[in-house]
Structure 1
Amino acid sequence: MKKKIKFQLLLLALIGIFTTMFLVLGICYDLFRKQVIEDLKTYAHLLEDTNALSDLMERRYDSKKDKVRITVVDESGDVLYESDADADKMGNHGDRPEIIQTFATGEGYAVRKSSTMGKNTFYYAIRIEEGNVIRVAKDADSIWSIFAGALPAIGGVTAFIILLCTVVAHVLTKALIAPIEKVANNADRLEELEIYEELAPFVATINEQHENILKNAGMRQEFTANVSHELKTPLTSISGYSELIESGMASDKDVVRFAREIHRNSDRLLILINDVIRLSELDVVDMEEHFEWLNLSEIAETCVDMLQINAENHGVALTFRGETCMVRSEKQMLEELVYNLCDNAIRYNNKGGLVAVLVKKAEDKTVLIVEDTGIGIPKAHQERIFERFYRVDKSRSKSTGGTGLGLAIVKHIVAKNEAKIELESEEGKGTKISVFFS
C-alpha cells in the first residue's frame, strides 16, 4: 500500500510538473509572438512616418544589421522592392495572407513556419498613401526550438523536483499510514487511540465488528456447550438402559420399559440433531434460497391439520382461520415457521387449552398469528425467549420433549424473509406471537 501511495503521489507530481511546464512555455511563447509582431508593427509605421522607405529603395538596405526584411508590393501584388533579394526575380505576392488582409483592412500580419529551419517567420504589413504595401518580416525561433534550448535547464529542474517529491511522498505516505498501522496493531484497545477524524468511521466499524466477533464466539461456545449437554442426557439414558438389558439384570417387563425409554431418547436425539443442522443451514449468509410466491394460508392450514393428533395427545384444541394471502418465500421455511410456532404453543399449553392460528391481511402486510391459552412467559424472560436452548421452565421443557431450538429457528426464518415478529404474553394467561410479512 505504501508503494502504491508513493507511486500515485509521484505520478501526480510529474503530471503537475509537465503540465505547468508546457502551460508556462505556451504562455511565454504567446507573449513573445505578440511582442515580435508589435515590434514589426512599430518598425513598419516608422518607415511610413519618416519617409525612410524611398531612401532605402534608392540605396541597398542591409537587413543583416537588425535582421528585419523589408518588402514593398504594389496593388497588383508585384514586388517593387525586396531588401534580401532581387525584386524582379520574385513572384507575385498578391496571394499572401498578410497582403490580402492589408488590402482589405489597411494592415495585416501572418506567421509562417519552417519545418526544416526550426524557425518561424513573422510578417507585418501596412498600406501607405500611394496604395502600395510595406511588409516587414523577421525570423524567430519556434516554440520547439526554444524548448530544445531550454531542455538542459528544464531537465535539471525536473530532476530536482522529482527528487524533492520523492522525499515529500515518502514523508507524507509514512504520516498517512502511521495511524492506520497503529489501528491495525492495537485492534484490542481502539478506544484509547488518538486518530484523525477521517478514520473515526473506520475505527467505529472495526470496533463494532470486533465486538460482534467476540459476541459470536461467545454464542458459539455457549451453543457448543449446550448441544453437548443436550446430547449427553439422552445418550446417557440410552447407554444405561441398553447396558442393563445386555447384562440380563432386567426382567421381561423392565426390558419393554427400557426399550420404550431408549426409543423415546433416540427420537429426542434425532429431533435435536435435525434442529441443530437446520440452524446451521439458516446461519449460512450466502446460502441460495429459492423464493417464490406462496399462499401462506394454505401452508398454515396444512400444518395445522398435520398437528391435530399431537394437539389431541396434549389435550389441546387447535383451530385455523385464514384468507388467501400471498407471500414471497421458500415453502420449507414457511412450513417450519408455522410448525415450530404451533408445536411450541401446544407443548406449553394446559390440558383443555386452545391454540388458534390466523392468517390475514393487515393494511399492506400479511400477518400470521399463533395465539394460545397456555402457561405464558414471564416479563423477565420475554427478551431471551428466541435464544438457542433458552428455556423458561427447564423441567417442563424436557418433559414435553422440546429441544429449546424451535423459537431460535423461527427467529432465523423471520430474518431470512425480512419479516417482523412480535410477542405478547402474560404469565398464566397465554402467549400471542405475530409475524408480519411485507
Structure 2
Amino acid sequence: MIKSLYVRVVLFYMAAVLVGIISTYFLTLLMISSLGDRYVARLQNELLEDGRSIQELYRKFGIERADDELKEGRLSGKYEIKLYDGDGKMIGKEEDKRAGLFTLSGEVVHSVLNGETFKNFELSPTEFVVGLPYEEAGKRYALFIELSEQRVESFGSLLLILAFAINLIVGALMILIAARYLVKPLLGMKSAAERMAKGEFDIELKWAKRKDELGRLAHSFNEMASQMSELETMRQNFVSNVSHEIQSPLTSISGFSKALQQSGVAEEDRIRYLSIIQNESERLSRLSDNLLKLASLDTSNHPFEPRDYELDEQLRKAVVACEPQWTAKSLEWDLRLPKTMIRGDEDQLNQVWVNLIGNSIKFTPDGGRISLSIMKYTEHVEVVLSDTGIGIPIGERVKVFERFYKADHSRNKMKSGSGLGLAIVKKIVIKHRGDVVLKGNSNGGTTVIVSLPFQTKFQEP
C-alpha cells in the first residue's frame, strides 16, 4: 500500500505539515530567545526616555495643554498615560479611567507621589509601565506611562509574521524536495520520449526499479523502447530482405534479356534464357503477391468471412491441386481425414494448407512419403502434416515463421521461394485464434501441427 505514489504523496504532505509545525515552534522560540531580549530591552529604554520627555511636557505645558501637545508630537499613539492627584485619584474622563493594560495599587501610586520612580518591567519583563513624579503649582502628581495596545499588538504581529516566514521557508524546502522526487523521473521520461521521436531506441530508465506508479511507468517505457528497437531492427531487415529478394530476379531478367539481344544465340540457349526470365518473373509476381497478403493481414481491414465448411474435403482438394508436383517426385500419401466441420475463413485457411503442403513436397526427396491427418478434440481440431524430408534444425523451428527467414540458405538457392510462406501461414492461423508448431521426426523429416478452434472469431492484429 505504501508503495503507491498516491499514498506517498499524502504521507509526504502530512510529514511536511508536521515538520513545518515543529520547526516553526522551535525556530520561533530560538529567534525569540536570541532577539526577544534585545527587543524588550530596547522597548524598556524607549519607555524610560519617552517617559521623561512626557514628564517634561507636563511640567512645561501643564495638565491642560500637555495632552494636546502629545497628540501632535512624535509620541502620539505610542503610549497610554494615567495621571493621579495627590490623593491617589485618577484624573481624566471615565473612558480614560477604564482604559489601560494594567492596574495600579494604591501603594504604588503613593510611592510615586512621594517622589520615587516606578519601573514595572523590573518586576515583570513583559509589562512595560513606568511611573514618574510630577509637580505643578505646588501640587504633587503621579504620572504613569505604558505602551499602547497598538505597540503590544505589533510585537505579537511581528512574532506571528516570523512564525509564518519560518513555516513558509521550511514548507518550500519540503516541496522542493518532493518536486524533485516527482518531477525528475517525468523530465527523464520526457527527454527519453524526445530521443525516441528522433529514432533513438537504446534507452533504459533507471526509475524502473521503483515500486510505485512512476516505477511501473518507467518499466513500461523501457519495454516500449525495447520493442521499438526490435521493430526498427525488423523493419531494417525487412527492407534489406525485400531489396535483396527483388534485386536477385531483376538482375537475372536484365542479364538474360541482354543476352537475347545479342546475335547468334542458339535456339536451345534462347529457349533456356526465356524460361529463366519467365521463372524469375513468376518469382517476382509471387513475392509481390505475398507481400501484399502480409500487408493486408497486418491490418484490421483485411476481409474475414467465417462460415461452416468441411475441413477434410478442403484438405483433399489442396492435395489434389498439388498433384503435378508430388506426382513428378513419385511421393506417397497417407491421408487420415475423418469428416470434420469447422468454422473459419475458407479462402485464408486454404492458403495455409497450400503453403504447408507445397513446402513438404518441395523439400521431400523423390520417392518420399507425406502423411496428412485430422485429430479432433473437445474444443479444437489439429491438422498434422508430416513428411520424410530434410528436416529443420531445432534452433530454427521458431525462426522459420519470421519473414524472409530461410533455415538452409544453401538449400534455398536450389529451391524457389521468398521466405514469406510460413509467415503468411502463422499470421492466418493466429487470426483464427489458433497455433502452429513444427516438430522433428525420428526419420529426419518435419511435422507441422496446426491447431484451430471449432468455432473461431477474427482476432485483431
TM-score interval (norm. to shorter): 0.5 to 0.7
Among 262, 267, 270, the alignment partner of 1:247 is: 262
1:180 aligns with 2:186: yes
Q: How does 1:166-245 map to 2 (within 5 A)?
A: 176=182, 178-187=184-193, 189-193=203-207, 197-245=212-260
- Counterpart of 1:355 in structure 2 is 370
1:426 shift after superposition: 4.3
1:397 corresponds in structure 2 to: 412
Q: Offset at 1:352?
A: 0.4
> CA distance change for structure 1 residues 196 and 177 in 2, over 3 Å: closer, same or farther?
farther
Find the structure with the greater CA-based Rg.
2
Give secondary structure in 1 for the equivalent of 2:403. Answer: coil
| SS across alignment from 2:397 | helix
Q: Per-residue deviation at 1:423?
A: 1.5
Aligned to 2:329: 314
- Match status 1:379 vs 2:394: yes
Q: Does 1:410 align with 2:425?
A: yes
Is the alpha carbon distance of 1:363 and 1:175 closer, same or farther for their aligned partners in structure 2, counting shifts above 3 Å?
same
SS in 2 for 1:376: coil
What is the CA distance between 1:379 and its match in structure 2?
Answer: 2.1
Contact kept, 8 Å, 1:378 with 1:426, in 2: the verdict is: no
Cα pair distance change 1:272/1:317, threshold 3 Å: farther
TM-superposed CA distance for 1:412, in Å, is 1.1
Residue 196 of structure 1 deviates from its aligned partner by 6.3
Would the aligned equivalents of 2:365 and 2:389 in 1 still touch at CA under 8 Å?
A: yes
Provide the identity percentage.
30
Shift of 1:400: 2.4
Query: Which is further off, 209-218 or 293-302?
Result: 293-302
Please, what TM-score do these two structures have when normalized by structure 1?
A: 0.57
Paired with 2:249 and 2:329, the residues of 1 have a C-alpha distance of: 22
Distance 1:223 1:313 in 2: 34
SS of residue paired to 1:357: strand
* Structure 1 ranges of 4+ moved more than 6 A: 170-175
Q: 1:261 aligns to what?
A: 276
TM alignment of 1:338-353, pairs within 5 A: 338-353=353-368
Partner of residue 325 from structure 1, selected from 309, 316, 340: 340
Give the direction of change, closer, same or farther, for the CA distance of 1:244–1:190 in structure 2 (3 Å limit): closer
Which runs of structure 2 are paired with 1:28-47 in the superposition (5 Å)? none
Post-superposition shift, 1:397? 2.1
Residue equivalent to 2:89? none
* Secondary structure at 1:186 match in 2: helix
Q: CA offset at residue 363 of structure 1?
A: 3.5
Query: What secondary structure is seen at the aligned counterpart in 2 of 1:368?
Result: strand
Amino acid paired to 1:182: G
Distance 2:215 2:181 in 1: 17
Asked whether the 8 Å contact 2:210–2:216 carries over to 1, the reply is no
Letter of the structure 2 residue corresponding to residue 266 of structure 1: S
Query: Amino acid of the residue matched to residue 192 of structure 1?
Result: K
Q: Is there any run of 5+ residues in structure 2 with no aligned partner, and where?
A: 1-167, 194-201, 454-461
- Distance of aligned partners of 1:201 and 1:180 in 2 relative to their CA distance in 1, 3 Å threshold: same
> What's the C-alpha RMSD, in Å, of the aligned pairs?
3.0
- 8 Å CA contact 2:426, 2:435 repeated in 1: no
Structure 1 partner of 2:294: 279
Quick one: structure 1 residues 190 and 256, their matched pair in 2 at CA, closer, same or farther if it must change by over 3 Å?
A: closer
Aligned to 2:438: 423
Distance in 2 (CA, whole Å) between partners of 1:348 and 1:286 is 34
Q: TM-score, normalised by structure 2?
A: 0.54
CA contact (8 A) 1:387 1:408 kept: yes
> Are the aligned partners of 2:441 and 2:447 in contact in 1 as well (CA < 8 Å)?
no
| Equivalenced residues, count | 276
Looking at structure 2, the residues matched to 242 and 251 of structure 1 have their Cα atoms a distance apart, in angstroms, of: 14
Check whether the contact 2:204–2:222 (CA below 8 A) recurs between aligned residues. yes
Q: Letter of the aligned partner of 1:387 in structure 2?
A: E
On the 8 A contact 1:375/1:427 being kept in 2, the answer is no
AA matched with 2:451? F
Partner amino acid for 2:205? E
Q: Secondary structure at the match of 2:237?
A: helix
* Partner SS state of residue 401, structure 2: coil
Aligned-pair CA distance for 1:296:
2.0
SS in 1 for 2:309: strand
Report Cα offsets for 1:241-267 as digits up to 9, x if no partner.
Answer: 111111224222211111111111111
Q: CA deviation at 1:414?
A: 1.8
Is the 2:189–2:205 contact (alpha carbons within 8 Å) kept by the matching residues of 1? Answer: no
Query: How big is the shift at 1:282?
Result: 1.7
How has the CA–CA distance of structure 1 residues 218 and 285 changed in structure 2, closer, same or farther, with 3 Å as cutoff?
Answer: farther
For 2:402 and 2:442, the matched residues in 1 are separated by 19
The 3 A distance-change label for structure 1 pair 394 and 427 is farther
Contact 1:368 1:435 in 2 (8 A): yes
Cα shift at 1:197: 1.3
Separation of aligned partners in 1, 2:304 and 2:216: 33
1:395: how far off? 2.9
